[in-house]
Chain A
Amino acid sequence: DTEVTQTPKHLVMGMTNKKSLKCEQHMGHRAMYWYKQKAKKPPELMFVYSYEKLSINESVPSRFSPECPNSSLLNLHLHALQPEDSALYLCASSHRDPLSGQGPQETQYFGPGTRLLVL
């Protein structure tokens, strides 16, 4: 089973709202990722959690706040977003810690994404 689930599928929020995106995997993966994908563009890495600790933050604005409450769950808390933050937010996971070198367990498996619209 290589399933990563994300909720909600769609989200519309105003610039003053606070909302959260949720990602879950039950594959025993120890690394989890948030990517942002604008229309007709490739995904761009936002955050990486390894063993429930934030290991990479790609200079993402503080209005995006990640949280990893346990090894199966990854949240992305949203506050005071701007219309240009509208995008598809993708979660991914991999078995292996991304910094521990190449190997067959490095493959990242993606969820279906949350399509976010900020009004």
Chain B
Amino acid sequence: GDSVTQMEGPVTLSEEAFLTINCTYTATGYPSLFWYVQYPGEGLQLLLKATKADDKGSNKGFEATYRKETTSFHLEKGSVQVSDSAVYFCALRGSQGNLIFGKGTKLSVKP
């Protein structure tokens, strides 16, 4: 079945460091891919998405490129801030239209 694998956390970085959170998927066809962010005590917010191969999603300095060759959708940001501390979930659109999530990666950014 469809699944998402993302790097285990937690990830701890200093402010202004470069961020990469790896995400790979297994699916039939080319499903839409998403990154959601969850701040402490809150619900999920859509961070970015890509609906087809080679699409690049971007928002708030975060980027991810849909790579069908490597079945990956890695999240990157050039310079993280303390306010980026949160849990990041990679997800794909399942065959029933539901979201299939990875386990989440907790990011802590220290000043």
**Interfacial residues, chain A to chain B (CB-CB below 8 A):** 6, 31, 33, 40-43, 45, 48, 56, 88, 90, 92, 94, 97-100, 102-104, 106-113
Contact = CB atoms under 8 A, between A and B. Distances in A.
Interface residues of B, number: 21
Given A56-B96, A110-B46, 8 more contacts: A40-B104, A42-B104, A92-B44, A97-B97, A98-B96, A99-B96, A106-B93, A110-B36
Give the interface SS of chain A, mostly helix, strand, loop or mixed.
Answer: mixed
3 interchain residue pairs of minimum CB distance:
A98-B97, A42-B101, A110-B44
B34 interface: yes
Contacts of A31: 97
A56 B98 contact: yes
Interface in B71-110: 89, 93, 96-99, 101-104
Contacts of B36: 110
Output the residue of A108, A109, A113 with the most chain B CB within 10 A: A108
B105 to A, nearest CB: 11
Contact of A104 (B51, B98, B104): B51
